[in-house]
Structure 1
Amino acid sequence: MRKILIPTDFSENAINAINYAVALFKYDICEFYFMHAYQDDIYADEALLANESLERITMLIGKKSEEQLKNTLSLTAGRSHNPRHTYHIIASNNLLVDEANKIVDEQNIDIIVMGTRGKTNDRNLTFGSHTLQVLKYVQCPVLAIPENYRYTKPNHILFPTDYMIPYKRRELKLLCEIAVPYRAVIDMLYISKSNTLSLRQKDNKAFIEGELCKNNINFKIENSKHIINAIYKHIKENGTDLLVMVNTRHSFLEHFLFQSTIDELSLNLDIPFLALQNMRRN
């Protein structure tokens, strides 16, 4: 059974991410956890804080959160009609990252799915602040769905890698199981000025090949020193439906996630993005 956490702020982007997740995992037995962490909402309305007690505001916002989650569940279940899917709601007076990490640990979540942007929807950013927080700090794979992206079967997956990371079996298994039902092709793209792999890189490449043995894999080399441009070019030229990268200490993804804005590096993603967090979990 696959366990999927979907944080929501009830925006159109969040609803779109829910619809994508339900469609993507339509072949799987799944438990979906719709979660709204509303602690920030309590302090957002200064006028309300001036006229009501903190206790009453907390109660009102908590009640509204639960009602919105119930409505989200009802709409999703009504559209899906999938007997292999079950749904849970979690309204929490907590911060998004803290609550997400808590649920990931308690429920042994396999993947988090969320929109790239939320209510604020700053079009100058590829990822909104909440999505960035989850990508950076929550110890679980994260699938981010762009605004207005309509579900498309992930037939062509791009996985850029330098083969330096000792990959986690659980996360490669997740990628394998996403790809298999759609007979997706996975392009493993090594971007380098050299075609030669070290022994360490060869070992990691062999591990990937073994774990993704059920999949159709193309091992490609792009001779370039401009990693972002090479990734973007490959996406556009090959009809890529899903970009996969690993976020671990000193990885390329970690580097650009901690820039002031991803868009400074010109990666304006308009396809779903799966970040494998490469964390130690059972």
Structure 2
Amino acid sequence: MKNILLPTDFSKNSKNAIEYSLKLFEGETVTFHILNSQKPTGYMTADVLYGAAGDSVYDGILNDNKKELEKLIRHCESQSENENFTFVPKIDFDNIVDAVNQAVSLNNIELIIMGTNGATGAEEVVFGSNTLKLIRKANCPILAIPEGYVYNKIESVLLSVNYQYELKTDALAVILDIVRKHDSTLKILEIEENNVEVNSPKGNYIDLFKGINIERFCIKNIPSAVAIDAFTQLIPVQLHAMFVERKSFLDRFIFGSETSKISYSSRVPLLIFRN
């Protein structure tokens, strides 16, 4: 049985990520932990003034969010009547990172699935603030679903690798599970950037993919964001997986370097592992 965490703020983007999750795990036994995290300090005084007499601000927020969560779970159950899915609601009064990491620890969460965006601002058009916080700090792999992305059969998975980092076998297990279930082709894109010192691959990680249809590609002297964007335009994939070790690399990958100013805009769901 799998344990999957679905953070939600009840927005259209978060609901779309949940819809994607139900399709992704069809035919499996899965417990979906649906988490709504709110910080009471984020509410305006008006939210308190219109509460019923004697209610605390916590009661008001809890009741509203509980109703929304129950409504969301009823919708999920109606969409998956023939599946062996269990939906567990969770409301937490905490910042999103602490709430998620606590849920990951307590429930043996294997994967977090959420929408990519939802915030405004120049830097956060593609990845919303909560998504970025979790990519940087969550103790679990994250699958980020682009706004409006509709589930498609996963025929090809792109794994972009950079020899700056060692590939972790436990993280690769998540990719292998998806590839085997959907009988997908794994396209491995090896990237060597300009002026970036790379190491030789530590061990033959290709041995981990025995029995899987693999295609290998190599791009040199091009920034990762440019290489991947070009690759996904030329060769269709339905999922992109990558490893991130340092915050600086993540920021450079998503927002672009100071010199190139070229940023990454995810065309397909992005599966991120932090080494």
Whether these two folds match at TM > 0.5 is yes
Deviations 1:16-51 (A, max 9, x none): 1001011011132111000000115x5322333567
Q: In 1, are the aligned partners of 2:255 and 2:261 still within 8 Å (CA)?
A: no
1:167 deviates by 2.3
Displacement over 4 Å in runs of 4+: 49-55, 120-124, 257-261
Deviations 1:50-93 (A, max 9, x none): 67799711111011111111111110010111432111000111
Structure 1 segment 145-184 matched on structure 2, within 5 A: 145-184=145-184
CA-atom RMSD, angstroms?
A: 2.8
Equivalent residue number for residue 231 of structure 1: 228
1:184 deviates by 1.1
Task: Extract unaligned runs of 5+ from structure 2.
Answer: none
Q: In 2, are the aligned partners of 1:27 and 1:181 still within 8 Å (CA)?
A: no
Q: Tell me which amino acid in the other structure corresponds to 1:188.
A: I
Q: Does 1:248 align with 2:241?
A: no
Give the Cα separation in 2 of the matches to 1:11 and 1:203: 42
Equivalent residue number for residue 71 of structure 2: 71
What TM-score, normalized by structure 1, do the two folds share?
A: 0.86
Give % identity. 27
1:178 deviates by 0.8
Deviations 1:260-280 (A, max 9, x none): 99x9533121211100123xx
Corresponding residue SS for 1:252: helix
Q: Tell me which amino acid in the other structure corresponds to 1:275.
A: I
Equivalent residue number for residue 20 of structure 1: 20
Structure 1 segment 80-91 matched on structure 2, within 5 A: 80-91=80-91
Equivalent residue number for residue 131 of structure 1: 131
What TM-score, normalized by structure 2, do the two folds share?
A: 0.88
1:214 deviates by 3.5
1:149 deviates by 0.5
Distance change in 2, residues 1:126/1:233 (3 Å):
same
